[in-house]
Structure 1
Amino acid sequence: AKELSRVAENGEDHLSTEAAGEEEEANGEDEPEKESSEITVEEMERAELEARLIAFRIRDLVGSDGTSPYFLYDRKEKRMKPVRFRDIVILLRSARGWAPLFEEQFRLLGLPVYVERGGGYFSATEIQVMLSLLQLIDNPYQDIPLASVLRSPIVGLSAEELALLRLERKKGSFYDAVIRFTTSKGENGQSIEHQELKATLRRFLEKMGRWRDLARRGALSRLIWQIYRETGYYDFVGGLPGGKERQANLQALYDRARLFEEGAFRGLFRFLRFVERMKERGDDMGTARALGEQEDVVRIMTIHKSKGLEFPIVFLAGASKTFNEQDLRSPTLFSKDLGIGTDVVDFDLSIRSASLPKLAIREREKKEMLAEEMRLLYVALTRAKEKLYIVATLPDYKKEEERWKEKGGKGDEPLPAYHLLSAKSYLDWIGPALILPRDSSQDLSSNGASPRFKEGFTLQVIPARELSHPTRMKGEEIRSEIWETLRRFETVPVSLIHEVEEETGRQAMAEEELERILGWTSPYTPMERHPAKQSVSEIKRKMQLFQEEEEEQEMLWLGSGIDSGTGFASDAAISLRQASSSFPLRRPRLARRPRFMEEGGLTATEKGTAMHTVMQHLDLTRPLDRDRVEEELKSFVRRELLTPEQAKSIDIDGILRFFNTRMGRRMLTASHVYREVPFTFKIPASRAYPDWEGEDEEILVQGIVDALIEEEGHLLLLDYKTDRTDGIEDGELIRRYRLQVALYREAVGNIWRRPVARSFLYFFHGEKLLEVE
């Protein structure tokens, strides 16, 4: 019997085939597999989804959920026997990246699994912890190994406790911080948790001292075994998932240390250097073998390692994983028959393209790569004696199915060579080979099963989101089983109908929970609508706009008929706030003008910025006259504090007139003048946002004080303005900037812990000096 099933995730589909029979061994040499060095995030997600799908199917096969197991025919005993975990093998094109993810998912679902690895010893968690501890014994002034050991079960500190240790000594080595923490006095005023942490660290440092003495005097293997005994780490890892393999890894570390000492080199330092050189060369050792071939576990291996073997049930995972064409994208290709192929560079056109020899070599290498992949696929498809599942992931199955129909042959005809050569994955060969011709296809059924494939194969479509819910997965499989029973014109058991009804009820409850979660409203809505940080100028602008709106809230547009100027009907009433949301009452200020506009001169804002820059950097220790200011401006241009255009826009006479005022002379003779003083402090959000509702929160306010003048221990605050003041009363100018100056005074008082005695505004246009109470 053959079966095909498929799973999909939001837009990802997984495909799985099941077949029976025995085939001859594939021809070809047992070449080592080529593996890509990295696995992408998308590929990790697909691997986890396929692992979950396979795990669910295995649980059904062995009857782990209380269901009836699948039976296999035992040829030796000549009787039917239920499926056991040892009857199942998962084949991967490449174990790197995928095998650990499969192992993790299987263990999370409580399935026994064994992975045949060719490497990964030094990346095993228990080995990394032990190597970090050995590095620490060799030299405790290593921050990363120390943090690793303290965080490990050997000491068992939390991340918060590690942060507490670092706060004890913010600079210097982490080991010094630990020593300082453990030797600090004043335990009577410390919390119980604080004292317990100190006691834990003291015990660890005491053990460290003994281990360092043993490392200098005794054998390395004896040191490692002593650590196992004193810390209990060997027993601890034995209780974790995969405990036997973890203990075997620790045993192997002990054995390898003992073998190392039998050579010419000895000592902990030399052993650690030996391990580091192995890592640098990429000579990773395989994890220790902890399980025998007859253990009742699901085995995960590569297709290469499965050559010459047969298994009752085989899952081929990653059938949609793209072939590794990294070698074909190399800048230089080599061939023993065709020579060397490189890129051709046209320096005049700055174009790089592949040369004809490179194209020929690439085509030859691609054909050889595809031939090897086809041989491996043949091996994978012929390992199963009873059942074969092919699992794959697709972004959109329906589109992929249409492509298969276009590529597929008629009836039993072989696939065209062009389609064979254009394949990017195993599924590009399998799909077109199994799909039925267009005229014999039928519509996809509602339960996910499809009769679109050739006799003996069944397709099942399962959204990948359902793989996160084992009960939903089971319900989908029940529906598929009902469909298959109906196709065979057999009676559907009532128990299956009841199970579907129960599953439907569980799904309805899950949907209600989902609606509750998605319908949740944040209680911090005001905070989400307003920035958590504002400038003083922006707060002043918002407050000014709000006050203007409040004053003109009763303003009405009245008229007969439609006013051609406003577009409002007669008797229509609209507030300025409402109108501002529909009409551009204010021209927005651009952060940077286009180049074609810069030729017309500087804006008022840009001129004001330039004036503030000059007032910030003028040397107040030397007499100021026109020649002196012009010399300073040239210096600012050379230092790129100003552009030539900005320097030309400076009102030199206005600057000189300011320093001839009483405030200017006080600035020149003051004991200290602080210019362009930045600050950041907190204020209640309701002060910055007039429309704030709900509980009050705090926001950050930032700004820059133009000048703080210190006289006889008092502070004077001065804020320059370059605004035009024509026709504006002094009282109106003070009203406009009162909030801004008040925030400046509050910030200086809170941060400097000194009150501001008096505050002033100076307007260069009009030469006005106004005191703000």
Structure 2
Amino acid sequence: MLVEKAVEFEATSYRGLFNFIRYIEQLQKYEVDFGEVNIYGESADTVRIMSIHKSKGLEFPVVFLSGMGKSFNQMDSRAALVLHSRMGIGADAIDPEHRVRQATLPRQIIRQSMKLENLAEELRVLYVAMTRPKEKLIMTGMASKLESRVKQCAAHAGRQEELLSYQTLSSASGYLDWILPAFSRNRCFDGLYEQFGLAGNVDNPLYAEKIPVTIRLVSPAGLVEGEVLHQMERAVNEQKIMEIPKQPPREAALKELVEERFAYQYPYEKEKQIPVKVTVSQLKKVGMEESEIGKELFAQEELVPIVPGFLKKDHVAALTGSDRGTAYHRLLECLDYRRAYSITELMAQTEELIAEGKMTKEAAECIYFKSILAFAKSPVGMRMRNAFLNETLKREQPFVMSVPASEADPSYPEDETILVQGIIDAWFPEGDEIVLVDYKTDRVKEVGELKKRYEKQLAYYQQALERTTGKKVKEKIIYSLALDEELVL
């Protein structure tokens, strides 16, 4: 998959390893779903079972096309009330007085049209199936009343046109009703003719044409007989193997070596469960099952159900949960603090972000601009404005740091480390120290609840900032956009 992504990237206007790494980081940042890697190539030595529709566009060396004797599904054309996209509705005529139901001409016409359309689709599906193999196609099917079918095929033996007649195509109830008449005019069909005392038409030019087709008739009794012979042969071979005299080991050292190899136990079995890297959100799972990688340290934000547009009001309670939080963080990441002191300016900035492709229109509808305005006018907002004007405000800063593995799970050894990655909402220097800011959209009754949920999270942020900058974090501020209040830790 990495190679595929690299090839796709090189096809764009960007070039180079640096730009490719930034591209992959952005995909990870916004949690783009890469899909599942296909570890099996089309040339792999495997057997793949799939429907005909799923095989479209693929090719294989050998294809088994099974179930050829199954009847087509024509239930929709047999219903008492038939519906057609162009012809409309067809229904039976009912005489309630005499309690009689009779088919009407519109219903019969619609029914016949639907049947032909279904057959046309089945023909297209059969074409897809028969064009998948590169080397060999094996078609299997159970045929009831085979003798009657073969006699009907004998009636086609003299037909010299390559294409089957309209009557044969339109009266088919399964794939065999097309396949058998098509082969019945060639000598590959002689085996079935002889089975029932019939003969093909040797005068037909199509009879002498050499085609690489073999038709084989297999009965249930023949299948059972073949299986019995196979099992008998297998039992005889097993008996012969058991009669081979057992040879003692060449030397005791060989036996000791084998026992030692099989008795070996990996000394670092517990360490296998330690993840190499976890996100701050994964560290929220402490206290859950030990089998889970990463543990809960702080509660997740409350998800508020999406409200239909016609019920929305200009109030935070009518917004969404996770989508709402993402929209708020995106606006605050790009906020121009010089223009952040009126609803009109905030809405104008949002429209600019939409035009630049940095935010969707649906996400913008989740924002309650009075909360953003209140944040910009709050004490921490004014401090961030000063940092913005001095070009020292850092927003949405990613980090990766190592921590003892025991912080993720107390059962992990203390001398082992794991990597923790996350994104800090905002920070800015004041003097020789740092102020850390984290905004939350959780719906809480009082801002103190956020301390219980996110105190540990901000401790990781503080640790990361102090390591990377060499400066001390003097304040950790949580700002609640739902309550328009700030909390200093």
TM-score (norm 1): 0.31
More helix per residue: 1
TM-score, L = length of structure 2: 0.46
Q: Which has the larger radius of gyration?
A: 1
